[in-house]
Structure 1
Amino acid sequence: MKRFVVRFFVAFALAAGAFTAAAQACKDTAAYEPARKIIADLGRIETPNGVQASYKARINGIDQWVSVRGQDRDNPIILFVHGGPASPLTPTLWQFQRPLEEYFTMVTYDQRGAGKTFVANDEAKVADTVHIPNFVDDVIAMADDVRTRYGKRKLILMGHSWGTIIGMQAALKRPDLFHAYIGIGQVIDVRENERISFDYAMATAKRKGNAEAVREMEAIAPYPGNTPITRERIIAARKWAQYYGGLTAYRDESAYFHRAPLLSPEYTDAERCAVDAGNVFTLGRILPEFLAVDMSGVREFPIPVLMFMGRHDYTTPSEPTDAWLAQVKAPYKRGVWFEHASHMVPWEEPGKLLVSLVQYVRPLAVDAPGVTAK
């Protein structure tokens, strides 16, 4: 039975093994530099109409770091809102994004309290702004800034995990900015997610005869129940759900993700260390608001909405998302199941992600030359 340390406390955040990886990332990692140079060379965009940019944008009073990559700037733009909270995509893009860049211009940014953005700002000035409405307004302001910079009427908005909470709310608040909204590992009802995840872990542990896991989970049962959901209870619940493939399908850990920053050419050692520091900075402040999130009452969606669902996801379980999608009214809606994925869909099934985006989403982006509405 493997031991691992739960690093991220929030229910849909990424857990097993991250503390160890982050601690290593804070050390001198010069030995990895030759590999980073190879990755940077492979990722260099040389096409005549391509774009490869990394810059700070002043968004809602703070500097937020932006990455823009694409082989043809005439392609539709996807604004990809990362998870966590404070788990930036930037140092992992090299693992999965290059094929997407042939069909879309991909824009990601480190949110307030995350990664490069955490380093770029005074903690004391940001601390009181770590609230969900501010993150939602950041998505909207970022979308507006990107539209202006790259001459687009609208963008495609895509969120992963925590990013689906603020992404969905941004789409509801400013639907005029977006062709469509895509949720990957969508959060609908946090408390229901907690229940499903815990029940899955408990049932699996009992079936496999894991007395240690059953004992630890029984200590917090019923979960979530009527007892306050503390960080300690979340740790105990999430530990075993993720051990049994609820984060990455068929795996009891996700070291490939947690260690990805070590090879990222986009981050310095200080910025790699900031992934961990920013996560600690953010989680304690956002946890109460996160626990109250419930989007199940949204009955109408103003723009096309697609949900990409991992069949084995027990970090943000897919069942509530599937049920929500079935009843919501929208101009266009589609659910896509990723049969061999859990929570980490872009990493686990990158081929199907690409095909799904090209087949179902790109036709909705009528700004693109030669692209017609579905």
Structure 2
Amino acid sequence: MTLVDRKFTVELNGTKQRIHLLAERAGLPGLIVLHGGPGVPNRHAFTGRLRELAQDFFLILWDQRGVGGSYRPRTQGRLTLDQLVTDAASLTTLVRDRYSLPRVNVLGFSWGTELGIRLVQRHPELYAAYVGSGQAVDGIRNEAIGYRHALEAAIAAGDERGVRALRRIGPPVDAQYRPVVRGLITQRQIAGRHNPLKPPASGGWVQSLAGGILTNPEYSWRDRWGYARGATRSLAELWPAVTHYDFTQDAAELAVPVTFLQGRHDWTTPSELVEEYAAVLRAPSVRLVWFEESGHGPSSTEPEKFMRELRAALAETETP
């Protein structure tokens, strides 16, 4: 019998935001999940293929301000990294205190790893450990490497249409494509089309991200409407402002244990940068776990190993 299974809205810093709390038994440590995008909720992953994690963690599943069930354009204000960090810290405190959680850990995916690093950097007193999958490291180098890889892959595959599209948007300048959102989506679509680890998703890159949201019963019609309205807005408002970072310099020291669960063949957040960051990061412990059969999403491609390694990473933070 599930102890907690509550889906509702909470007031966070002046606007209502959607969360789902899930736990199979009492006394579990909290795990706040920071989805990617910006603007792509992932609650359905934890009520689906990763559901058994609720046996080990009090899951805090959150649609970030401005998207999904948290789309409130009249009250959300302009989206900023600082505001999202504040929201995440407020949510952590609210849930921890209301449910008397012994501790809370952070799990970030893709864009959520940038948010997650900033969160534990600014509020180390709130968190026991950090885990990042598809870890962001250096925004400018990230996009330069990703663009080059997509172009090389398209040329090797004889994808003349993809090559023309990439050359039309041009290589990113200071991590920004031309036009910003459309250019970014074009690069991601072509890179995904030539990913050797999986066949192209029906409907392309956008459908691969949105499909679970638009069809999964985890989301109400209001949540889906908020995703449709908010995802592009979130990307447009956040992306230009959140690509100028280099964690090897900006976050070279963290006060909590850190684990990276990284696909060996990740070209969205290139694995070579994650390896560099793990080598220079100073923290109570730093672990880099490779997923040899994965690209950017090891929780999807190797879910059993992902859950096993996540448990192992966070078992070290358990209170004796």
Pair in the same fold by TM > 0.5? yes
Kindly tell me: are residues 270 and 141 of structure 1, through their superposed partners in 2, closer, same or farther at Cα, counting changes over 3 Å? closer
- Cα deviation, residue 281, structure 1: 2.5
Q: Does residue 265 of the first structure (1) align with residue 217 of the second (2)? A: yes
Q: 1:155 is matched with which residue?
A: 104
Match of 1:252 in 2: 200
Instruction: Give the whole-Å Cα distance in 2 for the aligned partners of 1:69 and 1:101.
Output: 6
Q: CA deviation at 1:243?
A: 1.2
The counterpart of 1:299, out of the listed 225, 248, 252, is 252
C-alpha displacement of 1:172: 0.4
Question: Does 2:122 correspond to 1:173?
Answer: yes
Equivalent residues of 2:150, 2:190 under 8 A apart: yes
2:232 maps to 280
Match of residue 114 from structure 1: 67
Question: Are the counterparts in 2 of residues 310 and 343 from structure 1 also a CA contact under 8 Å?
Answer: yes
- How much identity, in percent, do the aligned residues show? 27
Matched, 1:289 2:238: no
Distance 1:272 1:331, change over 3 A: same
Task: Provide runs of 4+ in structure 1 moved above 6 Å.
Answer: none
The corresponding residue for 1:321 is: 274
- Name the amino acid aligned to 1:290: V
1:11-56 deviations in Å (ceiling 9; x for gaps): xxxxxxxxxxxxxxxxxxxxxxxxxxxxxxxxxxx24xx2111122
Asked if 1:126 is matched to 2:79, the reply is no
The total of aligned residue pairs comes to 313
C-alpha contact (below 8 Å) 1:84/1:162 kept by paired residues: yes
**Aligned partners of 1:323, 1:293: CA distance in 2, in Å?**
15
Aligned to 1:213: 162
What is the deviation of 1:225? 4.2
Shift of 1:154: 2.3
In structure 2, the CA distance between the partners of 1:171 and 1:334, relative to structure 1 (3 Å rule), is same
1:225-247 deviations in whole A, cap 9, x for unaligned? Answer: 4695323432332221121128x
Go from structure 1 to structure 2 and tell me whether the alpha carbon gap of 1:287 and 1:106 turns closer, same or farther (over 3 Å shift). same
Structure with max Cα Rg: 1
Q: Which residue of 1 aligns with 2:50?
A: 97
The SS at the match of 1:125 is coil
Change (3 A) 1:76 1:153: closer
Which of 233, 239, 243 lines up with 2:189 in the alignment?
Answer: 239
Report the TM-score when normalising by structure 2: 0.91
Gaps of 5+ in 2: none
Indicate how the Cα distance of structure 1 residues 228 and 116 shifts in structure 2: closer, same or farther if over 3 A, else same. closer
The normalised TM-score by structure 1 is: 0.78
Q: Distance in 2 between matches of 1:201 and 1:252?
A: 14
Contact 1:57 1:63 in 2 (8 A): yes
2:285 counterpart (332, 335, 343): 332
Mapped contact 1:311–1:341 kept (Cα < 8 A): yes
Q: Are the aligned partners of 2:70 and 2:226 in contact in 1 as well (CA < 8 Å)?
A: no
1:56 aligns with 2:6: no
Distance (Å, rounded) in 2 between the aligned partners of 1:104 and 1:355: 13
Mapped contact 1:71–1:101 kept (Cα < 8 A): yes
Please give the alpha-carbon distance, in whole angstroms, between the structure 1 residues aligned to 2:168 and 2:195: 22
1-structure distance, mates of 2:176, 2:236: 15
Whole-angstrom distance in 2 between the partners of 1:226 and 1:289 = 11
CA contact (8 A) 1:57 1:66 kept: yes
Residues 1:227 and 1:78: Cα distance change in structure 2 (over 3 Å): closer
Structure 1 residue 291, shift from structure 2 partner:
2.5
Secondary structure class of the residue paired with 2:59 = strand
